[in-house]
Every structure is written in C-alpha cells, then in structure tokens.
Chains A and B, each alone.
Chain A
C-alpha cells in the first residue's frame, strides 16, 4: 500500500518556476513557505543580537560594548523576536499552510490579502532595518514614554513605523483566518469537528484583530508626539505616560497569547498523534483557547503594579491575572490525560512536545508569582521576569513551532528530516534552554535588574552559566538547518 502513495506530478512546489511565480502567487502554501524563509532570517538576526547580549553579560564589567550599544542590542533583539518572528511564526507558516486543508477549503478566503500581509511584513522589516542600520533604537521593545518620545535620541520614528506596518500584516492574517474558518469549511465540517489546531488559530485571530489596532494607534501617538512635538504622553506638557502603558499592555499582554496559543494548538495535535489516542476532553481544550483569549484582555495592568496605578486597581488586576491560569491548566491536564495509557512514541516532534510541557508549566507558574502583587514589587524588572517570559515564549512558543515544523515538514516539502540528528537537536535545545534561563530565575530573585550592561561580581557564575547555555541552545536551533540543507 505504502509504495503506491506517490506525490502528484504537479504540486505547489514545481507548479511554476522563477521568482515571479513565487512573488506573485496567491497559493497559501507558497506564501507559507515564503513566510518560513523570511522569519527564519529574522530569527537568525534576532539571535545575533542575543549573542551580543550574552557576550556582554559574560563578565561583570561592561567591557564588550558601551552601555548605549547594549541598550540597542536588547531593543533590537526584543523587537525582531517579538514583532517579526514570534507573532508571525506559527500562524503565518503552519497556519497558512494547514488551515485550508484541515477544514476542507481550497485556499484562504482572501488569497490576495494573504500575499499582501506577507508584503506588509517585509515592508515593516525594511523600516526596522533602516532604523537599525542608521543607528538603532535604545528604548526597549516596550517603547515606554516619555523616554521614547522626548528622552531617547535614537531612531524611534522609523522603527515605530515598521512595527505599525508589521501590525497590519498580523491583523490581516487574523482577519483572513477568521473569515476562512467561518465561511470556507467543507460541508459537514462542523465547529466541533475542527482540529484543535484550527480552534487555537481561531482564538489567536480574535486577539490579533481586537488587540493589534490598539497598539497600532498607540504607536501612531508615539510617532506624532516624537516627530511633531505633540504632548499626549509627555508629563512635562500635562500628558500621562501611564496612559501609554495602559494602551500598550492592553495589546501586549494579549499579544503574548498570540505567541503561545498557536503553539498550544500544535501541541494538541502532536500529543494525540504520538500517543495514538484522541484528545481527552476535546471541547474543553477547544473552549480553553477561547477562554485564554478572553481572559487575556482583562489582565494587562499586571505589568504596571509599580507604575503608579492605584492599590485597588493593582489588587483587582492581580486577582484577575490568576484566572488566566485556569484555561492554561485545563489544557495541560487534558494533554496529560491523553498521554495516560497511550502508545507513546518518542519521535522528534514528540520530544519537542515533551519539552514544551515542562517549560510551559514552569513559565506559567512563575507568571503566577509575578501576578502576585507583593511578590512582583520585589521581582519587577529583574531577571526573574526575563526568565519567566523566555520560558513561555522561547521554551513554549518556539518549542511548539519547532515540533510542528518537524511534524508537518514531510507534508510541506515532500522530504523527511534526519530523525537521528533532529532528536539530538531537540535534546540540545531543551538542555541549552534550561541552562540559559534557569539561572536567570535565580539571579533575578537575588536582585539582578534587567537591561543593565554590567552587574556586581557575585552574579557572575550564574551569568556565565546562562551564556554557556545560550551557545548550546544556539547550536540546537542551528542543527536542523544543517541537516536539512545537507541532504
């Protein structure tokens, strides 16, 4: 039976050659591949800045780069990784490729808009690159005012423009998915027959559509304030910088779920496939995606406990923040129940899935530490926070991305990866990751603040561990590239 399965003679990869046949395509599969290439470049670029950061922090003195260069390093790292890599990663690559076939549609509802959103991402990246090569930006990826509007003398405006444009790419992808999932399902593909991957993308798209416009307008306000001297966020002119933080986190907290929800969807597919069981509690898992999306919108001010909001507001947001943990836990418990007595096989995607479960649990639980008002006063803006969000975003989202990429790689390319090397790389990623970021929990708890380029001597051991782990992690990420191109 197996040897009769043949790849069709004409498929999306050889259906037309030459640059134009790719750049002008409206085929969701080709667009997905172009996204894959683009964001891999971005991942590499963001990684280079990470190398810079870890090199600087290998020694206590600021001896590798100057303080302002260091500021630009972590800003560029954060911006590239968040806006140009993580947010598009799973939706734009795997979602684009898989959602239409998964629901029995010929393509996304708006193929031209799909291509447009890829172009917008490139366009945004060009502006970001202009900002980068003309001297960089030193505000941090969060653009806090008034530093970003009146303090900093770096290239905030082109960078803001780049992020604004990339935001529209994200909005249009979300819009396309929502319409596709609503209107393009094959007859008989009811809502509760949708793969959980599709449910996760549906929830993600809701956040993209409802949250991104708010950060877009916030960035517009920062831009006009900086370029034209408006005074909306400038306290010296009666403006309110805390308002900026409200508007920013109203998007950017939900945005962290844009990064993690698709990975949760991938996980549901991986776990049930590699334990050869249907998922336990399908509808609970489906609804928990929606619940995460909804709760995600009411907890933003837990980023502002020390920013001058009232104590009562802080208490309410602290309390609300815990609610997000419920749907996340529902998912983890249902996966565990699915694994129970399953015929589990340990192929590469499953190794990533296992890694995901552990790291996501640690990341999520430390989120609860941070959401606890009293504790956050101590931990805010320390390496504890850095470690928390890397556990979720790198340990969670990228693990899910890598697992999904391996799982669907044969379907996307018609070739199998090297199982042996891929397993090694999955293990390297897991080990390297923990070596990089676990020490950061400790050093943050001990009081090392984030965003400084030098630190007291007593933190050096932990920082060297972290830098060493980063090298292992980097190798782990790079290995699949070598094995895939070498064959």
Chain B
C-alpha cells in the first residue's frame, strides 16, 4: 500500500480534533492561515502594479497636458466625488467592524456589518452611475462622439450646440474658472495656452484615463461585493469562529485595498485644478 495513503488515514484519525476548515495539505491551522495571508499580500502587490500602469500613463499625460487636465477635471463634480470618498471610508470602517465581530464569535453582528458594507459599496456605485450618465449626456465619453465644449457642467451647453461653441470656448472657459474661484482672472490662474482643437484632443485623453481608471476601480468593487455576498452567507451559516475567520479577514484586506485606490483616484481626477 502506498505510503501516502497510509499517512492520510493516520492523519485523519490521529487528530480528530482538527478544525474542519483545515485542508489536507496543511499541517496546522496556523500554517494554513499564514499561507493565505502571504498569498493575499502577493495578490495585492500584483493589483498595485496593475493599477500602476494606469497611474504611470496618467502621470505622463498630466505633465504634458496639464492645462487640459485641469480643464477637464473642472467638469467633474467635486461634491459627488467627496461624497463617494466619505462613503468608501465609512465602508472600510464597517468592514473592519465585520472582521472584528468574526474574530470574537459574534455571528449576527458579522453578518450585519458585512451587509452594511455592501450597502455602502452599492451607494458608491450608484453615485458612479449618476456621474457616468452625466458624462454621456455631455459627450464627455471618449470615442467617436466626444466633444469638449464646456468646462462647467453647471453652465453646460445642450448637446446640440456643443460643436459650434467649441471653437470660442477655450479662452472664456479659463476665465470663467478663475472667476469661480473668486479671484481676479490674472491672479493665480494660468491662461490656457491651448486652442479649442488641442483642448478637444487632450481632454479626451483625460477622459480616456478617467473612464479606464474609475471603470476598473468600479469593477473591483463589484467583484468585492460578489465576494462579500459569499462571505456573508458563510458567516450566516456559522462557518467562522475565533479559530477560523481568514476568509472574512482576506475579504477585508481586499476591500481596504480597493478603498485605497480610490483615495488616490479622487485627488488625481477631481482635484487637479485646485492648486492652480
């Protein structure tokens, strides 16, 4: 008889006290947990590099086309962005509370915290949908119908007039923005050196990056909510206890990571013009 088989049997019987969640190829719960934690951190490292390519692209184009980026950034609504930032930070808190409850054998509390986290995540996504819809409306989605005419969503032109207005709009837009900040147009605000055509081209790059970055981030959140559904179900079923709560903890790590990405995206995308 094969050694492996003998071993497996002896293994199973000798340590009847083994936790049911211990997989056969690990020796102890501690080893299993360590492996999962190391694996998760390595995975998050790959995620950082994944977003890193986009951040590198962003950095380069922001350097080249700063004026266009500032202009385009003005068309985003800071209040939506700020709201979403608050929502996400809140969801990180509820997630952390969920992990804590799992560690301390509070089954119902774990489930509740996790559900609350998912709700907050959905609020974030809902706000994103509103913002995306706004971009569609103003033809700010890169591609064949992209039009850069107005810098201010509040004073935005109707879709129909946009192309005609494009040509005259570059310079007034800069003034308008300066006025909005409350200062005289010469103080503290750079005059745009771009003509309408350049603005049309380079703001489109901004929005290409905006959609790729926030889209990828949103995709990560959707996946995170999916994972959390499973974790919530498992907690409800009582799969976790103070000896075994790794999946909750790992889902938490993932969720915090997604939050952190947003913490970078918010200033980069929404606040570009704030220091001009």
Q: Answer yes or no: A45 CB below 8 A from chain B CBs.
A: no
B3 with A237: CB separation less than 8 A? no
Q: Answer yes or no: B2 CB below 8 A from chain A CBs.
A: yes
B142 with A209: CB separation less than 8 A? no
CB distance from A385 to the nearest CB of B (A): 25
Interface 9-mer from B160-168, B204-212, B268-276: B204-212
A107 with B142: CB separation less than 8 A? no
A209 with B42: CB separation less than 8 A? yes
Q: Answer yes or no: B223 CB below 8 A from chain A CBs.
A: no
Distance in angstroms between the alpha carbons of A258 and B25 in the assembled complex: 28
CB distance from B165 to the nearest CB of A (A): 21
Interface 9-mer from A228-236, A288-296, A431-439: A228-236
Number of A residues near B (Cβ < 8 Å) is: 44
Distance in angstroms between the alpha carbons of A232 and B201 in the assembled complex: 11
A239 with B205: CB separation less than 8 A? yes
Q: Which of B24, B52, B205, B216 contacts A214 (CB 8 A)?
A: B52
Number of B residues near A (Cβ < 8 Å) is: 43
Known A-B contacts A110-B39, A237-B201; A231 and B53 likewise in contact (beta carbons under 8 Å):
no
Please, which residues of chain B bring their CB within 8 A of the CB of A229? 142-144, 146
A8 with B3: CB separation less than 8 A? yes
Please, which residues of chain B bring their CB within 8 A of the CB of A107? 25
Q: Which of A10, A179, A243 contacts B60 (CB 8 A)?
A: A243
Q: Which of A10, A183, A217, A220 contacts B31 (CB 8 A)?
A: A183
Q: Answer yes or no: B179 CB below 8 A from chain A CBs.
A: no
B47 with A213: CB separation less than 8 A? yes
Q: Which of A228, A239, A247 contacts B53 (CB 8 A)?
A: A247
A184 with B49: CB separation less than 8 A? no
Please, which residues of chain A bring their CB within 8 A of the CB of B202? 238
Say what secondary structure dominates the interface of chain B: helix
Distance in angstroms between the alpha carbons of A180 and B144 in the assembled complex: 49
Q: Which of B4, B49, B57 contacts A232 (CB 8 A)?
A: B57
Q: Which of A175, A225, A228, A238 contacts B201 (CB 8 A)?
A: A238
Q: Answer yes or no: A458 CB below 8 A from chain B CBs.
A: no
CB distance from B181 to the nearest CB of A (A): 26
Q: Which of B17-55 contact A (CB under 8 A)?
A: 23-25, 31, 34-35, 38-39, 42-43, 45-47, 49-54
Q: Which of A124-177 contact B (CB under 8 A)?
A: 171, 175-176
Q: Which of A105, A106, A179, A237 contacts B204 (CB 8 A)?
A: A237
Q: Answer yes or no: A240 CB below 8 A from chain B CBs.
A: yes
Q: Which of A176, A214, A240 contacts B49 (CB 8 A)?
A: A214
Known A-B contacts A179-B42, A231-B204, A231-B208; A216 and B57 likewise in contact (beta carbons under 8 Å):
no
B57 with A183: CB separation less than 8 A? no
Distance in angstroms between the alpha carbons of A193 and B216 in the assembled complex: 42
Distance in angstroms between the alpha carbons of A182 and B31 in the assembled complex: 11
Chain B residue with the shortest CB-CB distance to A10: B2
A213 with B53: CB separation less than 8 A? yes
B50 with A106: CB separation less than 8 A? no
Name 13 A/B residue pairs within 8 A (Cβ), A-sorted: A8-B3, A105-B25, A106-B24, A175-B43, A217-B52, A224-B211, A229-B142, A231-B142, A231-B204, A231-B205, A232-B57, A238-B205, A243-B60
Top 3 nearest A-B pairs (CB, nearest first) are A229-B143, A8-B2, A217-B53
